[in-house]
């Protein structure tokens, strides 16, 4: 299973890798590159359930947890 954020659903993206020299000469020997999401493995304590869960979450997802609360965010994502 691919690693993805449990809150936002972010995962890897495929995109081009260009240098400025490549743009100038109309020739692209670089090919494609895989850009990974900024995922962190975090233990998050949920006071409503009095337990800790281990999740792979992006930094944007961590900000959402901080704003809305762990219980609400993880319940909406379907983890709980």
**Domains parsed from the chain with CATH numbers:** 13-77 (2.30.170)
Element holding 21 (H helix, E strand):
helix 20-25
Q: pLDDT at position 28, please?
A: 61
Phi, psi (deg, nearest 5) at residue 75: -70, -40
Nearest to residue 77, comparing CAs of 46, 47, 35? 46
Enter the pTM of the model: 0.73
33-37, 42-46, 55-59: segment of lowest average pLDDT: 33-37
1-15, 19-33, 57-71: segment of lowest average pLDDT: 19-33
């Amino acid at each position: 299973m691919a690693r993805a954020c449990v809150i936002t659903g972010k995962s890897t993206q495929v995109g081009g890798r260009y240098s400025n020299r490549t743009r100038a000469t109309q020739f692209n020997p670089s090919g494609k590159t895989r850009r990974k999401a900024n995922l962190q493995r975090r233990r998050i304590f949920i006071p409503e359930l009095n337990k800790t869960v281990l999740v792979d979450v992006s930094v944007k997802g961590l900000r959402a947890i901080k704003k809305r609360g762990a219980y609400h965010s993880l319940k909406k994502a379907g983890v709980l």
